[in-house]
Every structure is written in structure tokens, then in C-alpha cells.
Amino acid sequence: MNKRTLAPGLLFFLSACAGKSLPEPAATFTEQVNRGMALYVEHCSSCHGADGKGTDQAPAVVGPTALPLDPPAGAQVRNVQFRTAFDVFQWVRVNMPGDAAGSLEDQEYVEVLAFDLKANGVELESPLDGENAKTVVLHP
């Protein structure tokens, strides 16, 4: 092993020792959406459906009836309104995935939310974050 291959190898070893390492925050909304898609498939689609339109296990998160202001009829967990994307983020990061609540990193919740917003027709000029999520108004 020469010096050139040693340095990246050592860095990888050190970051692996530091525990779960997240990628740098996405630079664009589109990059968030792409990462969020993979996270959705891995952590959410089993209950909410591959297309997000819901299953007998969980309500839709994509489509005209998705993310209603008030909890859907029969909701057992949600007890808050979804007025803005920030409200959805706050609730989802504590309560989802239904079988492993809170198990993702905040950055991952933001990415999966970016994917969900995009699937519902929302476009953003800059990456989604805790500030601009409050300006994404789902229900005026």
C-alpha cells in the first residue's frame, strides 16, 4: 500500500469508528428528493405503499387526499394538524416509521419529507430545512 491509498483508507477506518456517518447535507432540493426516495423505499413503503397512495396498514402520503390538515378518521397516533411541511416534519421525526419511531437521523427525515413534498407537486428553489419548511403551507 503506498501513501496515496493509505490516506483514504485510514479516513474511512476513522469515520467508521466514529459511528454512523451521514453524507454531507444535500446541496440541492433535487438531491434531497433523490436521497429521500431511497429512504422512503427502505423505511416507509412497506406500510404506505410503493407509490405512497396508502395501504390497509397506513394512510396515503401521496395524492390529493394525503397529508390532510386534521388527522384522518380513525387515526390513533396523530393528534396534531399539518398546516405546514414543518408540522409534518415535527410529527414524523417522532412517530415514524410506525414500527421504529425516531430511528432515522433528522437529516434523513428532511430528505424523505423532500421526496414526499415533490411527489405531491411541491418544488423548492433551495434545499428544504427547518426554516423554509415553515413557509411550505399545505393548508392555508
Considering only residues 24 to 83 of the shown chain, the ones binding ligand HEC according to CB under 6 A are 43-44, 46-48, 57-59, 61, 67-68, 71-72, 75-78
- Residue 56 one-letter amino acid: D
CA distances from 43 to 18, 83, 99, 108 (A): 24, 24, 10, 11
Confirm or reject binding of residue 92 to ligand HEC (CB under 6 A).
yes
For residues 122 and 115, give the distance between their C-alpha atoms in angstroms, rounded to a whole number: 9
Record the cell numbers describing residue 28, joined without a space: 440541492
The distance of closest approach from Cβ of residue 128 to ligand HEC in the complex, given in angstroms and rounded to an integer, is 13
Q: Of 78, 32, 83, 40, which Cα lies nearest the Cα of 59?
A: 78
> Whose Cβ is closer to ligand HEC: residue 97's or residue 127's?
97
**CB 38 within 8 Å of CB 31:** no
> Whose Cβ is closer to ligand HEC: residue 11's or residue 94's?
94
Q: Of 137, 140, 134, 96, which Cα lies nearest the Cα of 120?
A: 137
The distance of closest approach from Cβ of residue 88 to ligand HEC in the complex, given in angstroms and rounded to an integer, is 5
The distance of closest approach from Cβ of residue 8 to ligand HEC in the complex, given in angstroms and rounded to an integer, is 32
Chain positions contacting ligand HEC, by CB under 6 A: 43-44, 46-48, 57-59, 61, 67-68, 71-72, 75-78, 88, 92, 96-99, 104, 112
